[in-house]
Every structure is written in structure tokens, then in C-alpha cells.
Amino acid sequence: MRSAVSYALIAILGGAVGAGVTQSGMLYQKVVNHFSAKPSDPEGFWSTPAVDGYGKIHYESDAAFKPVAGLSNKIVFQITRSDGAMTDVNLGLERVARVVNLYVASGVPADQLKFVVSVTGDATPAMLDNAHFKQFYGVDNPNLKLIGELDKLGVKVSVCDQSVAFHHYPNDWIDKSVVHALSSPTTVSTLQNQGYAWLQM
């Protein structure tokens, strides 16, 4: 009798454990599905009002601390890293485009923006002309179109010539759309002395 009861208890416990394992597996799958599902945004949720196709923004008209037309609106952006693949647009440049889009969406005319980009360090290869970029990375330089779009809006993109030298690039390997600056630190400090805000991108 005792052995029959023991077998019954073992069967009941085994069934409960099995059910628990099955349920936990289903729960795990639900959690995985929830976090791996790509969220979908309604049409028009993102926009690129000034820099077409770059630096997408979600604009909220009632958000606090928005840029204001008529202020100095002077910023020097310093880009020192090359996040992601070299075959993609530099994320620092994308972030600059996002700031431009945010200012324009907030009502600041593009011609009131006094923006300078200072590129140095690991981000320097993004400033190469197309021929030399392709020589090193096997693809066209994906940054040049964005640099051109920024230039149309009056945003000056500069490269640190000290970093160009450390990379052993001749100056004429840098794309013609990029301004040669003595160095990135002196670009930032000089512009800060002229009232520019500094943003590390």
C-alpha cells in the first residue's frame, strides 16, 4: 500500500513539475517575443525637416527647453569616435543632423544656425575623399552626402589636421567639402571663447 501511495505522489509531483517547466518555457518565449518584436511607428512619427534623410526626429510642439529663434544659436560639435561600421554614416554626423532638424522644427531658420563640426581621432577616416575611402574600406564614403547636405545649410564640417597627420593621410586625401583646422582642441577652445556652446557627439 505504501509503495502505491509513493508512486502516486511521485506521479503527482512529476506532473506538477512538468507542467511548471512547460509553463515557464511558454512564459520565457512570451518575454523573448515581447522584447525582440520591432515596434512599429505611425506614419509621420519621424521626420527630417531640414537635413533630408538624415538625423530623424520625433517633434513635440509642447516640449520644454526648445531652441528659440533670435538667440545666438552657436554650437561647436566635436566628433571623436567612429561608432558602428565604417561602411555606415558616422553616428556623430547623424546626431549633428538630428540637432539641425530639431532646431529647424522648433522654428529657428537654418540661416540663423551657427554650427561648426570638429572631427578628430577615430572619426577622421570619415573625412576622406571618395577615392581614398574606397581604397581603404571597399565602398563609397557614406558620409560625403550628409556632409554636403549640412554644407547646404551652412554647417561647416572641419577636420583636425593633427589627427590627419597621425593617420598619415596627406592633406589632399581629405574631401574638398571639409575645412582643414589646425586641431580639434584649438577649434573648440577658440569657438568657445567666441560664445559657442560645445557638444561632444
Separation of alpha carbons 142 and 29, rounded Å = 38
Q: Do 30 and 83 share a domain, yes or no?
A: no
Which pLDDT belongs to residue 98? 98
Domain limits for position 30: 1-39
Residue 50 lies in a domain: no
In this structure, the dihedral spanned by the alpha carbons of residues 86, 177, 167 and 124, taken in order and rounded to 10 degrees, is -40
Domains of the chain: total: 2
Q: At what angle do helices 144-152 and 91-105 cross, to 10 degrees?
A: 30
User: What DSSP string runs through the chain?
Assistant: -HHHHHHHHHHHHHHHHHHHHHHHHHHHHHHHHHHHSPP---TTSSB-SSSTTSS-B---TT-SS---TTS--EEEEEE----S-TTS--HHHHHHHHHHHHHHHTT--GGG-EEEEEE-GGGGGGGB-HHHHHHHHSS--TTHHHHHHHHHTTPEEEEEHHHHHHTT--GGGB-TTSEEES-HHHHHHHHHHTT-EEEE-
- Which tens digits make up the pLDDT trace of 136-189? 999 999 999 999 999 999 999 999 999 999 999 999 999 999 999 999 999 999
Q: What is the pLDDT of residues 48-100, one digit of tens each?
A: 999 999 999 999 999 999 999 999 999 999 999 998 899 999 999 999 999 99
pLDDT at 25 over 90: no
Asked whether residue 113 is domain-assigned, the answer is yes
Mean pLDDT in residue range 115-136: 98
Same domain, 78 and 159: yes
pTM comes to 0.81
Whether residue 148 sits in one domain with residue 101: yes
- 153 part of a folded domain: yes
Q: 7 and 79 share a domain?
A: no
Would you say residue 62 lies in a domain? no
